[in-house]
Amino acid sequence: MLMEKNKMDIFINGKEIKVSEDETILSAARREKIHIPTLCYMEKLLPIGSCRLCVVEVEGCEKPVAACKTPVVPEMKVSTDTQRLRDMRREILSFILMTHPLECDQCELKGVCTLELLAKEYGVEAPASGVTSPRPRTAEFSTPAIIYKPYRCIACGRCVSACQEVVGRAVLALKGEGIGAAMEVVNADKCISCGECLSVCPVAALADAGMNELDHSDKGKRPKKTQTVCTYCGVGCTFDLNVVDGKAVGVTTNHNIGTNKGSLCVKGRFGYRFVNSPDRLTTPLIRKNGKLVEATWDEALDLVAKKLTSIKKDSGPDSITGLTSAKCTNEDNYVFQKFMRAVIGTNNVDHCARL
């Protein structure tokens, strides 16, 4: 491979690293698997620079800088884990925990929450006097699909950036100063209920209202996640369907994979709820005296097989037609057309692709 012109050397914790000029300290460190804690940074967003947990020392600079926002400079010497930095980070975490209660047992993020893990790593505990939260437990949000819990908000600004940069809607903004700072809805009309904000919130201050329904009986139950593909449009977004007690309660996304890289629209994010509908068909039905009545599988399938066989015999295979489905899997579609072609003996198979 050709050496690119704009490559340069920097040093992180004494290690020499090749970087290109458009990189930040954080991206260089991540590539080299050097750990720098972050809370507000996300690869798919422009650096926000609000949490300051990513502070590092650069030789020759008096004050530590935010690694997520600081571009590399040739020969720069960076330290990521000095006593001074550890103290600073501890202070930042203590400040956050003044308002954000460590009620991890009741939180759906327990065990995977960056804040919880960092608090452990840095040995920071909840203030003995309890949290001083000037913020309410819940507040109205821009869509009924999402519950906003301001008391959990740590004002990192991820949701604000995501709504602006990824979705292009600018529904949210950060308001207030110091321990009063929190996200607020400023443009509710523009919201398209896509849940991008919810997917980037690191502390579950935003939650799927569907999940909330379970809170009473199943508080603290961890959902089982299964990666699958959205059933609606042709984009084919991938997500994890979350299930508690045999009920779909939400979807979560992974920001690095698939066509959608963690983004979804309202149908993908919240449209899964139809699977729980009490209207789902649960048993075969057969028309008797003009009415559809319940039947066993054997009755229904024998009837279909018998009728298809006799129609085929009397009127020929081409008198039978089949519509396969753009909502079913490849496997379902394959077996359907094979059934029409090999068993019925006709090519009368189509679907609503054209419609």
Partner 1 sequence: MAGLAATLGSGAMTNSVEDLSEAEVMLVIGSNNTETHPVIGMRLRNAARYRGAKIIVVDPRRTGLVDDSVLWLSPPPGYDIAIVNAMAHVILEEGLHNEDYIEEKTEGFEEFKKALVPYTPEYAEELTGVPAKDILKAARLYGSANKAAILYCMGITQHSKGTDNVKSLSNLALLCGQMGKRGSGVNPLRGQNNVQGACDMGGLPNVFTGYQKVGLPEVQGKFEKHWGVELSDKVGLTVVEMSNQMMEGNVKALYVMGENPLVTDPDLTHVEEAFEKLDLLVVQDIFLTETARAADVVLPATSFAEKDGTFSNTERRVQLVRKALDPPGSARLDWEILADISTRMGYEMSYSSGQDVFEEIREVTPQYAGITYKRLGREGLQWPCPDEKHPGTPILHTKGVTRGSALFVPIEFRPPAEVPDAEYPFVLTTGRDYYQYHSATMTGRVKLLRDACPESYLEMSPEDADKLGVSDMSVVKVSSRRGHVIARIKITPNLSAGIVFKKFHFYEGAVNRLTNPVLDPTSKIPELKVTAVRIEKHDGPAPEPESQGMCLM
Q: Which does 343 bind (CB under 5 to 8 A by kind): ligand SF4, partner 1, ligand FES, none?
A: partner 1
Rounded CA separation 52/201 (Å): 17
By CB under 6 A, residue 233 contacts ligand SF4: yes
How does strand 238-244 pair with strand 224-229? antiparallel
The smaller minimum CB distance to partner 1, of residues 69 and 273, is found at 273
Site for ligand SF4 in 283-312 (CB under 6 A): none
Q: How many CB atoms lie within 10 A of CB 324?
A: 19
Q: Is 254 in the site for ligand SF4 (CB under 6 A)?
A: no
Distance CA 279, CA 134 (A): 44
Binding residue for ligand FES, selected from 29, 56, 66, 194, defined by CB under 6 A: 66
Q: Which is nearer to partner 1, 188 or 323 (CB)?
A: 323
Instruction: Tell whether residue 53 is a contact of ligand FES (CB under 6 A).
Output: yes
Instruction: Supply the minimum distance, in Å, between the C-beta of residue 269 and partner 1.
Output: 10
Residue 339 buriedness (CB in 10 A; 0-12 / 13-18 / 19+): middle
Query: In one letter, which amino acid is 308?
Result: L
Residues between 167 and 186 with contacts to ligand SF4, criterion CB under 6 A: 167, 169, 171-172
| Using rule CB under 6 A, residue 49 touches ligand FES | yes
Q: Does residue 136 touch ligand SF4 according to CB under 6 A? A: no
Cα angle 226, 232, 235 (rounded to 5 degrees) comes to 90
CB of 69 to partner 1, least distance (A): 17
Give the up-direction half-sphere exposure of residue 320: CA atoms within 13 A in the CB hemisphere. 22
Give, as ranges, the residues between 268 and 307 that touch partner 1 (CB under 8 A): 268, 270-287, 292, 297, 300-305, 307
Closer of 233 and 292 to ligand SF4 (Cβ)? 233
Under the criterion CB under 6 A, does residue 196 sit at the interface with ligand SF4? Answer: yes
Binding mask 76-95 for partner 1 (x = CB under 8 A): --------------------
Q: Of 24-32, 113-121, 175-183, 333-341, which segment contacts partner 1 by CB under 8 A?
A: 333-341
CA distance 324 to 347: 12
φ and ψ of 207, to 5 deg: -140, 150
> Which member of 41, 141, 148, 272 binds ligand FES (CB under 6 A)?
41
Q: Which of 29, 155, 156, 197 binds ligand SF4 (CB under 6 A)?
A: 197
Give CB contacts under 8 A, 24+ apart, made by 212-219.
Answer: 212/147, 213/249, 214/244, 214/247, 214/249, 218/244, 218/245, 219/106
144 interacts with partner 1 by CB under 8 A: yes
Which own/partner contact pairs does 323-328 have at CB distance under 8 Å and 24+ positions apart?
Answer: 323/349, 323/350, 323/351, 323/352, 324/349, 324/350, 324/351, 325/351, 325/352, 326/351, 326/352, 326/353, 327/231
Positions in the binding site for ligand SF4 (CB under 6 A): 142-143, 162-163, 167, 169, 171-172, 191-197, 230, 232-233, 235-237, 260, 264-265, 267-268
